[in-house]
A and B are shown apart, each in its own frame.
Chain A
Amino acid sequence: MYAEDLAPENCLVIKLLRSPHAHAMIRSIDTSKAKLVPGVECVLTYKDVPQHRFTQAGQTYLEASPYDRYILDRHLRFVGDEVAIVAADTEKAANKALKLIKVEYDILPAILDYRESLDNEILIHPEEDWTESDWSHGDNKRNSVYHEDIHVGDVDAIFAECDEVLEESYHTIEDQQAMMEPFTANCWMDTFGRLVIQSATQIPFHVRRNMATALGIPKSKIRVIKPRIGGGFGAKQTAVVERFPAVVTWLTGKPSKIYYTREETMIAGSARHEMRVQVKLGAMKDGTIRAIEMHVLSNTGAYGEHGPTTIGLAGHKSIPLYGGKYEAFRFVADTVYSNHPSAGAYRGYGAPQGIFALENTVNLMAARLGIDPTKIREMNMLHEGDLMTAYNNETANACALDQCMARCKEMMDWDNKFPAKVLPNGHIRSVGVAMAMQGSCINYIDEANVTIKMNDDGFYSLLVGSTDMGTGSDTILAQMAADVLECDVDDIVAYGVDTDVSPYDSGSYASSTTYLTGNAVVKAAEQLRLNITEQAAKILECQKDEVEFDGKVLTCVRTGASMTLKDLANQLQGGSDGWLSVTAGGNSPVSPPPYMVGMAEIDLDPETGKVVPIKYTTCVDCGTVVNPNLARVQTEGGLMQGLGMALYEGQSYTDEGVNRMRNFLQYKIPTRMDIPEIEVDFRESYEPTGPFGAKSIGEIVINTPSPAIAHAIFNATGVMHHELPITAEKVWRGIQQKKQEEVQA
């Protein structure tokens, strides 16, 4: 059962009026006619709703996002920005009312090219009550939401000593998470006059905070329930729709719901940040990489949200891959506003953009130096024990990147296939390679807590605050608890998130569920185990360290007396002193990265530019693999999204800033006809800080396809594409241009 399936019967249906302009002010708005439509409960404009600046992003304290939104604003900042809310008994009535709202706009000049945004005289957030986040160094009077400039060593001095220096610029565009369940939420008032928000969200606790801020009411007045959710991939790490039913129900006292259309999900959702990534790479003739410099400009769109936090990953989760050798790096990052829809979180969270740029440049460098691209990586890659200066100065405790490379080469038969072969039909078969890394949580910041209770008969309830966003994480967590308690997974009942009941968790993101929440589960389960033996010792009249527990029976090793867990649990139903439940958790000072190597083999038709991936091999080091089937499917799913991103997915706009991609006809995601042969393998390193040695896997898997495919296309055509997606048309053009250049030369 998903959020919409559980919405209260007969609740109000909400529909939204959206701005037709990329940048405008509402001059006047007349809702009188709309309100007359039978069945219409209310029509709300900026004049009718509380005005408190807030953010929709789900970010852990310290607040990382600027407060730059109202529930509804007079100032409209993208095509699709919300102008008015209609709530009615039926969808029909709501739609009819929408058409009767009369709005006059003052159209403002817009910034549709984010490269022109910084210090532009057009300001997207000129407002005086714009509040900066706690640490992002943004400035609304410059259209900036984030700035960072860090370095280790003197890059310029080292570049001057290098035999070869490459400077390349890349462009990645907004792509859609395209989770199958659109954005949706519903609300009602409970018997105590509190607002209940039932939402398909990855961040229930942040929804509570954000909505309290938006409505200007205490957090204690809000309860957020998260049922099963139909995919998120980061999209639902932003509270995209919650404010609409929240304000309607808060003002009317009646239950209400919203279920976005696919079109709304695509034009007013939370797509991946568009970025320009400029890379400068210095190496010696023998292939030693000595210095890396990266400048990133990110387009957050109309609102700040995840803009300050995604961009860092472009550098922090790409540069350390070469941490084995380089002597200096510099990373400069700016995130700016524009009149595009607000960007958000999408699997990889900034890392795919940086990795695409850096890996392409390394592949170009290998070609320039005439070195096999896998060799240049073997020479320079990160090894266990290396210090990752571009990654919070953490040490790579567990890293099997070298083994992943060796295994992946074997699976692909790289040495025989690299670089390319022409088939009798004129098509070209070629291969490409890329490496990737990610994090396992946000260190020191993310927080996971878990409660495990023992019930009568000795079965357990597991309460986690982290949400299963459709990745099977509840299964993995239950499995971990079952391992510690030596019981069957079926003896553990996992409970969805309810902010009234569940222990606090910063949310399902940054790949943190297995690592951080997993650690909390193990901690809680171990404590509960101790408590169980302690209680049994009292009854068996012995010392607690004399009691052995095999998951079912407790035995005193000295006297041989024993009792079942079931008896113990039932006896303790009366007169126990509260030990039956344990809450444990905390954060982590480190975020140990998973690593991987991916290789693509493609079939390229030079006549049309059509690229068909025929084989993808990948080897992942995610620490100990807790559940091989789920890890494998996570990898396959991520790879398919990555292939979509590489070859055809991406938003595009008209000159007026209108989204061209509004549905699945226009925005193609991979279907089952598009799957190449995928081979997945794991090389396990043991991460000492992780639960059973595990790290994360959820995000990293999307990172390699774009650069590996770009590399394969380069090996087939001699053209390295610097912009995603690499459509057939671009490939064809590249080939023609190359031909012309050759003729001229």
Chain B
Amino acid sequence: MNDTKSKLLAYVAFAVLYLVVVPLVFSGSPYALGVFSMSAALSVIALGVWVTFTIGRINLGQAAFALIGGFVAAICITRLGLSFWIALPVAGLVSAGVGVLLGLGILRLRGVYFAMITISLSEAVRLAILNGGSLTGGATGITGIPVPGELSLFGLVLIPDFASVNTHRAFYFLSAFLLLASILLVWRLMASRLGRVFASLQQGQELSQSLGINITKYRLIAFSVSCFLGGIGGAFFAAMQQSIYPGSFVVADSISFTLYCFLGGLAYVAGPIVGAFLLTIAFQLLHEFQQYQQLVYALLMIGIMMWLPNGLLSLRLPTFGGRGSASREVTRNEA
């Protein structure tokens, strides 16, 4: 229980820092707030990838679900005239729904097979959107998406029209809310019986079946949560950029999300968030290196695998997940 308390404390501290301190410090810099908002959105998406890791699947298809979320939101807003506040959950749910449908088939695949099929999925969705005709706008995507409007309930204004306030700050707070809510969601999931079941799927599917665990159901739950987070992140991205293209999320992004998880550390819920913030912010600071971003990402991926297989957080908490990759080793033939 003590462990839970200290984690809760860390969460509250982070929330205060993120909701109060950061916006105060950077209130004069819309640019910095934008970077934070983007990091938060990428964290939400990467958190989804992390959830699929917990059931022992390497998900390289998250770009597909971010794209689906982004386009569903954009279509809801521009084509159907819906409010952003409806489009956002719809985007998440549609992504999750597509995830369930696809997952019914592809979640039976494991290891490299799952990685290969999800990579193909990233490509397939991009192509589908490219061929979406006037609905998706083809190669030019959907642009000129209006910023989120007012959200009111029985005449009570809950959220003001983004256009009427400091838009950058409004997006910042929206992203902060989404991030904090996503962390809470995943954290609760992992702390409950479901988290244990997910871990059991990663470590021995057949054994879990023999103990009466409906592996299909729990794999689907994990995957749909992952896709939901991808869709929400994508929808936020579309709203903030006010545009979305088939090229907004591609295979390379799917791989980056995985990199975020590894950089932070696969054993920690905070892992993908640390990874996403660190890399996104680092590249904003190192402007002149922008053209070498690919190269740096590549060296990072290789470097992590060579020297820091359990991620940055394992440095701070050496007792938490065990040290050295041997502690999480699985046998070669398990897949």
Q: Do A and B come from one complex?
A: no
Which residues does B use to contact A, with CB under 8 Å? none
Which residues does A use to contact B, with CB under 8 Å? none
